[in-house]
Each structure stands twice: as C-alpha cells, then as structure tokens.
Structure 1
Amino acid sequence: MRPTPISPPDDSVILSLTSPGFDAAYPRVVNKELIPELVLQSMEWAWNTRRFPERPVRVLRLTDVWVAKEGLVFDREGNLYRETITQHSAGEIDQAHAAVLDAIGRGGPEAEPEAGVPVLLCKKRGIGNYGHWMMEMLPKAQLVHRHLPELAVRFLVAHAPGHLNDSMAQSLSMLGIDLARTIVADDTPRRFADLLLVDGLTEHGGYMSPLVFDGVEALVASVPAAGAERLFVTRRATGFRRVVGEDDLIAHAQARGYALVDPGALPLPQQVSLFKGATRIVGVMGAAMTNIAFAPPGAQVVTLTPAGMPDTFFWFIAMLRGLDYTEVRCPQSGPIRGNMPWDTDLVLSPEDRDRIFAE
C-alpha cells in the first residue's frame, strides 16, 4: 500500500530564512534545433522564467522518525513526509515504505530511537552524484552548522562509492565540520529520536536558492586559486558521455592554452583551486562540471551537451554565480553506455569546435 504523504506540524519549524529572489535569463543554446520537443518543453518552463521570487527556507525538527533509502523520512506510523520526496520513483517509495513497516513491526532493540543530540538529514535522491552532494546536500550541512551552532548537531550522510566518499568528507572538513559528528548510513531503515530537515533550498531541475552559494563561497575562500586560466574538463574516467574523437579535441584545446583536467582524479581542495582560477572552462555536461560553481563571476563556460539531455542544473549554477554560460547541443552517437538515454557518445562538429576555442 502506498504511504500517505504528510507535512510536518507548524510548530516543527525552528528556523526560517528568506531566500532572496533573483532575475533569470534564457541560456545561450547552440544547435537548439537538435533538442527533441518533449525534452525542450521540460526545460523551457524554467528557462523562460524571468524572475524567481523570494521564498522561505526552513529548518524543521521532527521526533521519533524513520529514515530509509535515499533520505525518505517516515513518522512512527509509517506515513511519509512529503518534503523528503526528491525525485524518488513510486517503486523506490514503496520499497522504503515496506522496509519501514517491517522494521516497525519487528520492534526490538533495532527499533529504538538513537538518543543524544539532533541529527541533520543530509541525504536525498542522487546520493551517488557529486553534483547532487555539492549543491543540494552539503548546503544543508553548511546552513545548520552556520545558523544553529548551539545545537551541536550530527550529520546523517549516505554511504557513497570511492572517490565521492572522499570528496564528501573533504567538503565537510573544509566547512569546519568535524567528521566525528557524521553518521554514515545505507538504505536500511534507521530510527531517530530527533531529526532535522532543511526544506526549500533546492528542487532538482526546478529551483536553486542563492543561499546554496554561502557554502560555495566558504569552500572557495579556503584555498588559493591555481594558475591555469583555461580548463578542458574530460570524462575519460567515466567511460560514457564522451566526445567522439576526444583525443584530437584535447590536442586542439591544449594547443590553444587549455589545461586538461579530470576532476574525479583530484582531491577536492585541488578541484576548487583549479576552477577558482579559471576564466574559460569547456567540458561535457556531467557531475564534474559542477565545479563551475567555484569559478569567478564572469568566467566563460561552455558545456558540450547531448541533444536529448534534459537539464537545467548547470544553468542555475551559472546564473547564480554570474557566469557567461553557453550550451552546445551535440548529436548523439552509438549505444547507451550509462543509465540514461543521453549516456551515449557525442559528436562535435568542426565548426562548433572552432567557435568554442576561438579567441
């Protein structure tokens, strides 16, 4: 049975901030005609929004709740807090609900609430994606760490694979958060006596608060800028969503003064340092390009984007950071190598390549 969505009571709000309104501009899109109509429609409602009004960002405090899967929160009866549904599929919600009801039914020691200080939820859908962590989960930790230090909270984060786990730990440390105060959890339901939720900072694909960049600024301030002004961001390590003939493209970029960078192979402070000093950044749209958030206002950014990829995430980052942003939509080629239909190879025309790297 599908869980009943509920909202927290009004008295659960322990902090309310006003996220400033901001103006928006339609992005510069090259080869827009290649975008399938349905994909274009899914983005244009945001792209055509000229003004995002101010809105509240709230910190909510809940008692005796269960957390399951990628940050879904249920009350003691198994009702689901709708504020924690973040791109979860119906199937994922049903699986989490069934697991929580089973845990409630078993009772016993494993169902006892975790006692002690409040725990802040820093998990949401997309736990394996660097961009989701940096722009949607980490900002919650920074906000509570900054505005509610007296609570001395602990931070509930997801277990992430390999290098992402290192980046998560490094980012928390760079914000001054003691890693001993983190709780690392998998999908298994866990019960908490005192849980904090941050609501209103982001809606993936639809909204990003300027308050997110308080954490970005803190990370940028913690390291010096590196010397490279031009960066070409490669996806060699991922094995998908790569440009056909990338070796030639890299040689072309390097001949024009671009440094080759694979962010996934670098510790986070070095990534921040590199992008902090960059004034021109070119790369295929993907998690590594989240680092444009660290670039200085006015930096020129070009994302090479699969024609069929529906995405406004990087546009929001560029807009709020004050970057000169261009998407070059590229024909897709070959089989799907990742999880999504746009995880194919990309074809960049010689004409587009020359325009991108022209002085």
Structure 2
Amino acid sequence: MPSTPIPPITTELPAGADLLTLLSPAFEAPHPSIRHRERVPPDVLRTMEATWAPGRFEERRVSVLRLRDVWVAKEGLVFDRDGALYHRTVTQHSAAEVAGAQAAVREAIARGGATPDRDGPVVLCKKRGVGNYGHWLMEMLPRAHLVHRHRPDLGARVLVADVPGQLRASMAASLALLGIDPARAVVAGDAPRAFGELLLVEGLTDHGAYMSPLVMECVEALAAAVPPRPPRPLLVSRQSVGFRRLVDEDALLMQAMAAGAVPVEPALLPLADQIALFKGASRIAGVMGAALTNIAFAAPGTRVTALAPAGMPDTFFWFIATLRGLDYTEIRCTPSGPVRGNMPWDTDLLLDPEDAAEVLGLESREFPLPDATPVSGCVP
C-alpha cells in the first residue's frame, strides 16, 4: 500500500517583500460561443461555468516580491533557507510532488547546502507546465517582461526550466524579441537550486481561473517588430504531436488548401514565423493545444474556431480570445479511439461534417470530405 506523503512545512511570504505593485485593469468577459455544449460532461461544464459566469473581472493587484536566500525546486516551488515551503508558489503540483521536492531541499541543506547564486536577482519564470509553449508564452514569459519593463535598473536575470530543444529555441527567441539577452537566462531542472535573491511575480495569471490584461502587453511587445504575413485563413494541425488530432485530418487539410487556407504546424516553425502567420491571419481554426496559443498574436476581431475534446476542462484559450478581442467559438467534438496522451481527453476527435464548414469558413453546411493522400501540416 503506498505511503501517504508527509504534509509539507509551509510558511508565509515575509513582510516587506513587496518590490513593485501594479493594478491590473478590470475587463468584460462575455460567455464563449459553444457548439455542441450538450456533449460536455456536467462536472466539466460546472468547472468552466464557475469561471465564465461572472462575465467581468474586477481590477486586481499584481506584485513583484523580493525573496532572500531561497531554494527553488521542481516547476517553481520556492522554499526558505530552512526548507519551509512558500505555499503560495504551489501551482498545480500534487502533494507527493511537493513532499518530494521538500525532501530534496532538506537533504541539500543537511549536506551543508550549495553555494547560493549571488550574481544578482533572478525572476522566477518556472511554473507547472514548463514543457508547454502556451504556458511559457502566456504565464511565464510575461513575468520577465513585467520586471524588465518596470524595473530595468535591477538588471534581473530569468530563471527558466530545462526543456527540449525546439521549445528552448522559442524561449530564447521570445526573450530576444523583448530585448532580454537570452544569455541572461538561468536554466534549471527539478533539482534544488539556491539563490541569494529571487523575484516572485504574483497576480498575473491563475491557470484556468484568471489572466491579467497586463499579459497582453508582453504579447504586443513580442509581436511589435515582426511584420505580418499576407492575410490568409490558417488551419492549425497537430499531426506531428501524435494525439488530440482530427480523424481523417489529411482529407480536411486537402479541403482547406482547396478553400484557400494554409495548413500549419507552428511547433515546426521559428517563433518569428509563427508570429507573422498569426498576426496576418484572416481566420484561424485548430484543435486546442499549445500551438493554438498563437491566436494571441491575431488582430482584434479575427474569427477563431477552437476544436475541443468534449471532456476537456479548458478556459485558457477563452481568456486569450477575450483579452485580445477575438471572435471566438468553441466546437466540442466527440472523442474517437484510445487515449494517446497523458490526459483522459487526449484521444483523436471526430469533426461533424456540418462543423467542418465552420472550420473552413464556408457558407454551405454541406461538406463531403474527399479521399486524399496525406499532406504536411506545415508551411515554410
């Protein structure tokens, strides 16, 4: 029988740690347009409705706090010099993960501790989901942007996760577009690291529950120097991902190209090309996933159709669309085949023929999908 994790010893953030306070503006957040709402399991719908229902988010405080002599472990868990967890840094970690991280920190302290990094402040840009491009773009990178914009005098570095090559390249490119030298990134894995001075940004996002309009200041700064591609409809593909794909997607991609749309797999493109494509897009459709985060670069008013597994509890893309002012619709799709990813909704998806017309922006609801040979989902 598995042992129960030992409850962590936690502590409050120290008094007087506030370095900077900003006010995040209030904003209206209309309920999303959802097709096939009846397919969503009741418990999943209740979870999302709790976020959608208010229709407005009031003004909030965003803070930058300065912490001295700390340890950072896992995906952004922060501990004081004695190994007590700052519980406000727990973001979607399980009890077992927290307990394991705290045990590792205490072991490091018992061995005499590592020499803390005292080369100046670092902004914590690690949180749960470090390997996901969307989490980086909308939840981690904006922390670095906020500090570097409002306190450039600090010369702060950026504490980031050790991630695979393609995402690491996108992270470096995004820092460079913001005027932050990628060499200022401190790369760390799950093992405990000691820092003399850590900057903790609070209030920008709460995954699934809140996203500040200040996040869009970071997105706009990223895209400012990138010219848009000519306006074309985009169909965002996940073929190379291997799960949460559309059934018979090859045929849909062929039909998309025949209708003048551009099939694209953003993960296979340099970041500047992704920004340019989405910045110039006349219409965007695709399955919910990291690549669809690029709708954040689309012009206000752009029509976006997000294809979602019926059981996927997600408000992330709705927040992006709301803050960006996009014409946003979700189509909830029937699952097909086995679970191929980490979550129960990571099956392939059946797209109803009448919904395929929505994806391509066709006026007619009649949409026979032809037999077709596979095509690449990426454009150069």
What TM-score, normalized to structure 1? 0.98
Q: CA deviation at 1:340?
A: 0.4
Q: CA deviation at 1:215?
A: 0.7
Q: Kindly report which structure 2 residues correspond to 1:293-312, keeping only aligned pairs within 5 A, or say none.
A: 293-312=296-315
Distance 2:101 2:83 in 1: 10
Residue 106 (structure 2) pairs with residue 101 (structure 1) = yes
Distance 2:196 2:255 in 1: 57
Distance 1:122 1:193 in 2: 16
Residue 176 (structure 2) pairs with residue 173 (structure 1) = yes
Residue 19 (structure 2) pairs with residue 7 (structure 1) = no
- The residue that corresponds to 2:209 in the other structure is 206
Q: CA deviation at 1:49?
A: 1.7
Distance 1:83 1:168 in 2: 25
Residue 96 (structure 2) pairs with residue 88 (structure 1) = no
- The residue that corresponds to 1:236 in the other structure is 239
Q: Kindly report which structure 2 residues correspond to 1:67-86, keeping only aligned pairs within 5 A, or say none.
A: 67-86=72-91
Aligned match for 1:35, one of 40, 54, 69: 40
Secondary structure of the residue aligned to 2:219 is: helix
For 1:185, the aligned partner's letter is A
Maintained 8 Å contact 1:237/1:264: no
Distance 1:294 1:245 in 2: 28
Aligned match for 2:276, one of 273, 280, 284: 273
Q: Kindly report which structure 2 residues correspond to 1:229-268, keeping only aligned pairs within 5 A, or say none.
A: 229-268=232-271
Shift of the 151–355 alpha-carbon distance from structure 1 to 2, 3 Å rule, reads: closer
Aligned length: 357
For 2:61, the aligned partner's letter is P
Q: CA deviation at 1:327?
A: 0.4
Aligned match for 1:22, one of 9, 24, 27: 27
- The residue that corresponds to 2:375 in the other structure is none
Distance 1:104 1:200 in 2: 30
Aligned match for 1:194, one of 194, 197, 210: 197
Q: CA deviation at 1:10?
A: 3.0
Q: CA deviation at 1:79?
A: 1.2
Runs (4+) off by over 4 Å: none
Q: CA deviation at 1:231?
A: 0.3
Distance 1:222 1:90 in 2: 43
**What per-residue deviation string (whole Å, max 9, x for no partner) do you get for residues 199-244 of structure 1?**
0000000000000011100111110000142100000110100000
Residue 225 (structure 2) pairs with residue 216 (structure 1) = no
Residue 152 (structure 2) pairs with residue 149 (structure 1) = yes
Maintained 8 Å contact 1:70/1:123: yes
Distance 2:196 2:204 in 1: 24
RMSD between superposed Cα atoms in Å: 0.9
- The residue that corresponds to 1:56 in the other structure is 61
For 1:251, the aligned partner's letter is M
Q: CA deviation at 1:329?
A: 0.3
Distance 2:84 2:142 in 1: 27
Q: CA deviation at 1:55?
A: 0.6
